[in-house]
Homo-oligomer: A and B are copies of this chain.
Amino acid sequence: MKAYALLGGPTNLWPKNIKQTLKNVQDDLIVGVDRGALFLEEMGILPDLAMGDFDSLQKNDLAWIENSVPDVRYSNPVKDWTDSELMLRTVFQDYHIDHLTIFGATGGRLDHFLINLFMLLNPVVRPYAEKVSLIDMQNVVCFFNAGKHVISKREDYPYIGLASLSTIQDFSIQGARYELKNYSSNYPRVFSSNEFLPGSKAFEISFKDGLVAAIYSKDIDRFHNL
């Protein structure tokens, strides 16, 4: 079973096909996190699971969630786990899903976005990192734990950046336009704007410790609206 989670980030950054994607879901799990549960309702989609502290919601919205959603889980604002981390733990450990696609994770409040980016660093959920994709209208982010990995080209995404999100050892990039050899660091760093070689559809990365985000991206013309 796969899962699709909608978080509370700005709706104008959603990928264009999000509504159709979620409407087409049959046997897979749909999760609404905090305000994301409400966004699902507004699209006419009933989530299977809703999570959050729901403190920003109006009473009637919360009532709709509590009356309609089969599994509602409340988080506490005074907590060690963020809503996003709790969501990851729940879908992988309770629902045993095989893959999670996350929408609504980017933009808006930067502390919210960083929570959604850094959540996979939590050692309890880090083992699931390679089963998670984070998607908005301009970016697709995949995560990799230590080891050797193939980074495959995605049509329509001309740019590929690799972000080391914590300490890393012996990070190498082989077979791409810009190679890297045995880079080690105790702080995050981004290797941006790499490219697939002409005719090539993949390159290889390897590292001994750390968490790497592969960020596929494309340009969006409409942002230039002076």
**Residue in A42, A159, A190 whose Cβ sees the most chain B Cβ within 10 Å:** A190
**Residue in A43, A117, A187 whose Cβ sees the most chain B Cβ within 10 Å:** A187
Q: When chains A and B are docked, how far (Å) is the Cα of A77 from the Cα of B178? A: 9
Q: Tell me if B82 and A110 are in contact (CB < 8 A).
A: no
Q: How far is the CB of A174 from chain B (nearest CB, A)?
A: 16
Among the stretches A90-98, A163-171, A196-204, the one at the interface with B is A163-171
Q: Tell me if B167 and A109 are in contact (CB < 8 A).
A: no
Q: Tell me if B114 and A224 are in contact (CB < 8 A).
A: no
Number of copies: 2
A101 within 8 A of B: no
Q: Which residues of B contact A109 (CB under 8 A)?
A: 138-139, 159, 161, 215, 217, 219
Q: Which residues of B contact A43 (CB under 8 A)?
A: 226
Q: When chains A and B are docked, how far (Å) is the Cα of A225 from the Cα of B39? A: 10
Q: When chains A and B are docked, how far (Å) is the Cα of A39 from the Cα of B138? A: 21
Q: Which residues of B contact A111 (CB under 8 A)?
A: 159, 161, 163, 190, 192-193, 215, 217
Q: Which residues of B contact A147 (CB under 8 A)?
A: none
Q: Tell me if B161 and A188 are in contact (CB < 8 A).
A: no
Q: Could you say which interface size class chain A belongs to? A: 35 or more
Q: Tell me if B178 and A78 are in contact (CB < 8 A).
A: yes
Q: Tell me if B215 and A188 are in contact (CB < 8 A).
A: no
Q: Tell me if A226 and B141 are in contact (CB < 8 A).
A: no
Q: Tell me if A192 and B82 are in contact (CB < 8 A).
A: yes
Q: When chains A and B are docked, how far (Å) is the Cα of A114 from the Cα of B78? A: 28
A29 within 8 A of B: no
Q: Tell me if A110 and B106 are in contact (CB < 8 A).
A: yes
Q: When chains A and B are docked, how far (Å) is the Cα of A42 from the Cα of B108? A: 26
Q: Tell me if A190 and B114 are in contact (CB < 8 A).
A: yes
Minimum CB distance partner of A164 in chain B? B118
A10 within 8 A of B: yes
- Closest CB pairs A-B (n = 3): A111-B161, A10-B223, A166-B187
Chain A residues with a Cβ under 8 A of chain B: 10-12, 39, 42-43, 77-78, 82, 106-112, 114-115, 117-118, 121, 138-139, 141, 159, 161, 163, 165-167, 178, 186-190, 192-193, 211, 215, 217, 219-220, 223-226
